[in-house]
Amino acid sequence: MKKVLCLFTSHPFLAGFLLCFSVVCFGLPAQAQRLVVSDYADPTLRLEDTGLPKEWSIKVWHGIPDVMVMQYKQQRILHLRSHQSSISLYRELEFQLDQAPFLNWEWKVNQLPENADARTGDRDDQAAGIYVVFPRFPAFLNSQLLGYIWDNTVPEGTIVPSSNNSLVQYIVVRSGTTALGKWVKEQRNVLADYQRVFKDTPPAVGGVSLMIDSDDTNSQAESFFREVVFQSEEPLLLMQR
């Protein structure tokens, strides 16, 4: 995520967000429990000819994209590979975090980018990251990103500010090779994380991005995603397979 610069339009996700801003507004009723951002196993999920879900857009910042929905054990999953490239998928949506503060997702990393480290600007590559975007007026100057990443070396739980933009903050959810090659379920209280990181009440969520990059380290990376969902109540979390 080294391309996070001081301007809104320089961020891999936010630039695309600005260029095709057609917000899908989720008005969650009080009794709603789930806001599904993506569920690749859903049999009703519609795919583009490229193999990507219709409601998601792709931005290629460097290299050749290698991203698609594929079959895995009779179930569809999102597969991302980076060959010295930088790629993001993003979906625009809008809702208040107090309606559904718990972000839950499943991911697997098979290959980490070589010698990557989120704390170092010229080695800021990750095999997998999920970013929640908080647009604030004026969006091109003030929008914030909270990124949950799988890093190579930074200890889990560490909050890492982007070396290029203090409005972009990483939280290291996984680090190193301990769970490499395994599906892992994650959950985060995004409302609590935002308040802890930015010391403020969050604006409405404006979108979600999934990213993989290995261009700074000139290496390879591979990861997978299953379901990504916001929930109004904290679910039971199980460590996976």
> pLDDT by residue (tens digit) across 205-221?
999 999 999 999 999 99
15 occurs within a structural domain: yes
Q: Name the pTM for this structure.
A: 0.86
> What is the CATH number for 188?
2.60.120.430
The lowest-confidence range among 10-14, 52-56, 89-93, 173-177 is: 10-14
189 occurs within a structural domain: yes
Contact in structure between 3 and 14 (CB atoms under 8 Å):
no
**CB under 8 Å to 181, separation ≥6 — which residues?**
108, 109, 110
- Residue that is written with structure tokens 């979390």 in the block: 237
Domain count, the chain: 1
Vertex 124 angle, CA 188 and 94, to 5°:
40
Tell me which residue range forms the domain holding 59: 8-231
120 occurs within a structural domain: yes
| pLDDT tens digits for range 113-170 | 999 999 998 999 999 999 999 998 766 667 899 999 999 999 999 999 988 778 889 9
168 occurs within a structural domain: yes
121 occurs within a structural domain: yes
238 occurs within a structural domain: no
